[in-house]
Structure 1
Amino acid sequence: MSLHAVRQHLAQAGIELQVHKKRVKNINFRLKPYTLMVSAPAFISTAQIEQAIAKRVSWAIDNHAQVLEQHQRKHRPLADSSTADSPILLWGAEQSLTLSRDKKLAYYREQLAATMPSLFDKWQPVVGAYANEIRLKKMHTRWGSCNTRARRIWLSVYLPAYPLECTEYVIVHELCHLHHANHSHEFWQTVATAMPDYRYWHDMLAGKTGQLD
């Protein structure tokens, strides 16, 4: 199985393959959230690397859910254990109301569900890709995800806390995965063509509670 085929197979499971040649004696594998990192000795041929990675594809896919669960448990916001009311942001602007965590999530879900159809109607023709299904989910480590085979896009219910353009960027990002299942140079070119200022909104979300797949 070629590296390209392996990348495509892993991408369908939401895993990006990263291969680096280093000054190591053996091929080393490290499975992280949404990423399979491979370090290979500089003297090993591409064919040998492909063969070794192909043997690990099933292992990576089978164990990825457990890695995600451990990561989410470790990085779960402290607010999850609190029922106290707190101020709320909507599309980046502070609101006059305060809500508990559960009510805040319900409020964000309602706001995103109401806004989402018009945003997809706006951006799908621009990107030139159309989702079969759009869902909302409480995600701590992702802003969005895309199942390229089912053409199903998930959005994080936390997005309405940030400016509307951030949600638009996440939608563009996930729609572009319907053209490119990985984060290749071609993928980012497609994102930039659809949304030239995407980097500003990307950076605003970077380092917050989620990350993109």
Structure 2
Amino acid sequence: MTKKRVKNINFRLKPHALMVSVPVSISSKQTVQAIAYRVPWAIANHPQVLERYKRKNSALAEPTADTPLLLWGVTQSLTLTHDEKVAYYRQQLNEVMPSLFDKWQPVVGAYANEMRLKKMHTRWGSCNTRARRIWLSVYLPAYPVECTEYVIVHELCHLHHPNHSRAFWQTVEAAMPDYKRWHDMLAGKTGKLD
């Protein structure tokens, strides 16, 4: 539990913790009552949060040498070590990234100053809104190219909204109406890719 300059008591259920942000003005008694009220909710929703966490971690896990090489969602006949796969994915992404940003920046109405690739294990992309720098995961070429396009759109939309507010998701949907399909695929909700 942390005391913050917030208006309401906020709960965030993590795989192994219930995070609570409490306004500075709230008393200890009110805090205890609010937490006691939310514990049943946390217990009821914990299995779903844990499953989502496991799915996300398995989707972002480094591919091993014995896993099939996927390129843009299609199984390839190449057999590569992990390091070779990362280099291959980096090369493939470097080739398409400029044209994908050229395609989506005018649609979103936001322009990045810099685009880079990174071996990210917990996310598919990130955005530094101040520097207007977007990072993409080198593992994206394992999925259909539309997944990479979705991540680009998602990160570009953060240049308009540096959060995941309703306005942010409306901006994503306005730019890419079918974004949920690609979002869900990256989140592991649509099953195995082939």
TM-score, normalised to structure 2's length?
Answer: 0.69
Match 1:95 to one of 76, 82, 93:
76
Alpha-carbon separation, structure 2, partners of 1:157 and 1:171: 13
Alignment of 1:38 onto 2:20: yes
Matched AA of 1:145 = S
Query: Aligned residue pairs: how many?
Result: 153
Secondary structure in 2 matching 1:108: helix
Q: Give, in angstroms, the shift of residue 38 of structure 1.
A: 2.6
Matched AA of 1:89 = L
The equivalent of 1:110 in structure 2 is: 91
The equivalent of 2:138 in structure 1 is: 157
The equivalent of 1:193 in structure 2 is: 174
Secondary structure in 2 matching 1:96: coil
Q: Is the 8 Å Cα contact of residues 146 and 174 (structure 1) preserved in structure 2?
A: yes
Q: Give, in angstroms, the shift of residue 39 of structure 1.
A: 4.6
Q: Is the 8 Å Cα contact of residues 85 and 101 (structure 1) preserved in structure 2?
A: no
Alpha-carbon separation, structure 1, partners of 2:148 and 2:6: 32
Root-mean-square deviation over aligned CA pairs = 3.0
TM-score, normalised to structure 1's length?
Answer: 0.63
Q: Give, in angstroms, the shift of residue 116 of structure 1.
A: 0.2
Q: Give, in angstroms, the shift of residue 79 of structure 1.
A: 5.5
The runs of 5 or more residues in structure 1 that have no matched partner are 5-17, 21-28, 41-45, 50-70, 209-213
Q: Which has the higher strand share?
A: 1
Q: Give, in angstroms, the shift of residue 174 of structure 1.
A: 0.2
After superposition, the Cα gap between the structure-2 partners of 1:79 and 1:113, relative to the gap in structure 1 and judged at 3 Å, is closer
The runs of 5 or more residues in structure 2 that have no matched partner are 27-52, 190-194
Alpha-carbon separation, structure 2, partners of 1:31 and 1:85: 32
Alpha-carbon separation, structure 1, partners of 2:103 and 2:116: 17
Secondary structure in 1 matching 2:115: strand
Q: Which runs of 4+ in 1 moved over 2 A?
A: 1-4, 29-32, 36-40, 46-49, 75-80, 84-87
Alpha-carbon separation, structure 1, partners of 2:66 and 2:108: 39
